[in-house]
Amino acid sequence: MGSWLRSFFTPAVNWVPVQNLQKYGSVLNSFLPGILANEEATKRSLQDDTSQNVEDVQKIIGYHFNDHNLLWQAFTHPSYDRDCISYERLEYVGDSVLNLMITKQQFSKYPNLPPGLLSPLRAANVDTEKLARVAVKHSFHKYLRHGRPILTRRIQSFINVLPEYPLHSHGLINAPKVLADVVESTIGAVFIDSNSSIDTTWEHSSLSSPLNASCFWFWTTCR
């Protein structure tokens, strides 16, 4: 713990003089405007071309939303605005739906595997790094709305190191959880918008590809 911070937790007999508290407060105040300005600049840059962004994301996942608010909610980090509705609830839904879809797929694909082997196989396909790779592969990070510039730096650092580990780093790199969260929240948004249809969520979350005309946008990376 830094000496200035430790001073706030020392016993009363060693309490910091008032003038020192004022000095520390002055230092903090000098940093605060810059931090807030960076957050506001980040938010403003993410507000540009909103309608185009909606269309772009819908093309990526191959699904047209009845309620565009669900789509934007899926890409809104809690830091975006004090009163915003973030992706957290949709992420909660998407996590469960994703596990169910993969469970269903593996149950059919591997009829002879027991649950003891299916469980780790499923877990390996939904770990944070794999989900983060899905987000990067389909450029989800470009549409993430947030108010923390540090998230942008962490995401870029993750992207920069991916070529060193084309498939998986097995824990050697730090995958930003926010990227995994957005994948799950997007799945949750499709599920809710489609009136809780597992089949629709699976069928319509697809990509048009020269190699595969109907390729599930998540499964293209995670199988």
- Distance, in Å, from the CA atom of 136 to the CA atom of 183, rounded to the nearest integer, reads 10
pLDDT in tens, 78-97: 999 888 999 999 999 999 99
- Distance, in Å, from the CA atom of 193 to the CA atom of 144, rounded to the nearest integer, reads 19
- Distance, in Å, from the CA atom of 77 to the CA atom of 45, rounded to the nearest integer, reads 15
pLDDT in tens, 17-76: 545 545 545 544 554 455 455 545 444 444 444 566 888 999 988 899 999 999 999 999
Cβ pair 145, 75 in contact under 8 A: yes
- Distance, in Å, from the CA atom of 207 to the CA atom of 187, rounded to the nearest integer, reads 14
The backbone region for 139, taken as left when phi is positive above 0, alpha when psi lies in -120 to 50, beta otherwise, is left
Mean pLDDT of the chain: 78
Compute φ and ψ for 206, nearest 5 degrees: -135, 165
Cβ pair 209, 203 in contact under 8 A: no
pLDDT of 184 > 70? The answer is yes
In the three-class reduction of DSSP (H, G, I as helix; E, B as strand; rest coil), residue 2 is classed as coil
pLDDT band, very low/low/confident/very high, at 206 (cuts 50, 70, 90): very low
pLDDT band, very low/low/confident/very high, at 151 (cuts 50, 70, 90): very high
Range in 3-17, 112-126, 145-159 with the lowest mean pLDDT: 3-17
| Residue 202 Cα distances to 50, 80, 123, 145, 199, angstroms | 26, 29, 19, 25, 5
- What count of Cα atoms within 13 Å lies in the side-chain half-sphere of residue 211? 4
pTM of the full structure? 0.72
